[in-house]
């Protein structure tokens, strides 16, 4: 009995004790990862430059690719075929643009509604309130087909609410107002995993708002996008486009001039800025330096 206890019971006790006292060994920190295939255009709201819209068209397959615009987040009962950025895509030369909308998940689950998504090269989500996109499309065939766009190498894009919905955590997802950071809707579509995305950040002085989420969900990467500015996500990396800035909340700090002489706030209250052309590795949470 003593030998059995020594060889089997004691080691088991040690393993259980270790897991309780060192939870990081049992629960590794989740990684922030982008889509395995396809591309994302994640924009911070406001007026977007033609360069960003043209980049989306390119990633979606070019001027003849089927592009779907979904303006549901804006909250209107119906939309015409010029809604959102649809007219801008046509102005820039896109030949096959269609606006689709419903706020009824039963319709979003129907073969008739989803038919245009079957061969879409790109899907663009417009601005408004991101929870409306969840209520209409979560768990439906439409959502499955959004993911299928990425699986076949296409592009998902969106601005403002259409940016936040692409993350796994739904910042500002409360149905009462958009100032509640952690509300009654907390899950986005998760095209990027383990992330919270905010928008209009500098234009509306929102640069401190993401800490409300990150204090309670410290494993998340926080990204804040200013108006007119976007990140182009391919795999686990992104590049910044547009005239303003992207704010990074990764509990670190980066500066092109170094930071050894700077007096910085604590890691839990730090963020830094990236601008056009800067690149970032979300999985390893580091700025990618240019050659």
Q: Which has the closest alpha carbon to 225: 162, 134, 269, 169?
A: 162
Mean pLDDT within 42-62: 98
Give pLDDT, residue 26.
54
pLDDT single digits (tens) 20-42:
444 445 567 799 999 999 999 99
The whole-chain average pLDDT of the chain stands at: 93
pLDDT at position 229 over 90? yes
Q: pLDDT class for 289, splitting at 50, 70, 90? A: confident
Mean pLDDT within 100-116: 98
Which residue ranges form the domains of the chain, and what is each CATH number?
A: 1-29 (no CATH), 31-288 (3.40.50.880)
pLDDT single digits (tens) 128-166:
999 999 999 999 999 999 999 999 999 999 999 999 999
Global pTM exceeds 0.85: yes
Q: pLDDT class for 19, splitting at 50, 70, 90? A: very low
Give pLDDT, residue 8.
47
Q: pLDDT class for 3, splitting at 50, 70, 90? A: low
CA 70, chain centre distance (Å): 16
């Amino acid at each position: 009995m003593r030998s059995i206890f020594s060889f089997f019971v004691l080691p088991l006790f040690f393993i259980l004790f270790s897991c309780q006292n060192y939870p990081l060994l049992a629960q590794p920190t989740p990684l922030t990862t982008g889509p395995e295939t396809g591309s994302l255009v994640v924009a911070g709201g406001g007026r977007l430059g033609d360069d960003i819209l043209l980049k989306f068209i390119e990633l979606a397959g070019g001027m003849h690719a089927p592009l779907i615009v979904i303006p549901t987040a804006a909250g209107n009962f119906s939309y015409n075929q010029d809604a959102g950025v649809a007219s801008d895509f046509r102005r820039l030369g896109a030949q096959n643009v269609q606006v689709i909308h419903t706020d009824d998940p039963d319709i979003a689950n129907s073969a008739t509604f989803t038919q245009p998504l079957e061969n879409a090269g790109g899907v663009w989500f417009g601005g408004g309130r991101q929870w409306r996109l969840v209520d209409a499309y979560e768990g439906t065939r439409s959502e499955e087909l959004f993911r299928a766009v990425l699986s076949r190498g296409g592009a998902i894009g969106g601005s403002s609410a259409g940016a936040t919905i692409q993350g796994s955590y739904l910042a500002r997802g409360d149905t009462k107002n958009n100032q509640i950071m952690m509300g009654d809707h907390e899950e986005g579509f998760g095209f990027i995993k383990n992330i919270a995305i905010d928008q209009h950040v500098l234009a509306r002085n929102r640069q401190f708002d993401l800490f409300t989420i990150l204090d309670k969900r410290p494993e998340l990467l926080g990204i804040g996008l200013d108006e007119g500015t976007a990140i182009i996500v391919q795999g686990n990396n992104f590049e910044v486009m547009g005239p303003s800035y992207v704010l990074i909340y990764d509990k670190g700090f980066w500066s092109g001039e170094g930071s050894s002489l700077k007096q910085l706030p604590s890691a839990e209250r730090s963020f830094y800025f990236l601008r056009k052309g800067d690149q970032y590795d979300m999985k390893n949470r580091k700025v990618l330096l240019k050659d």
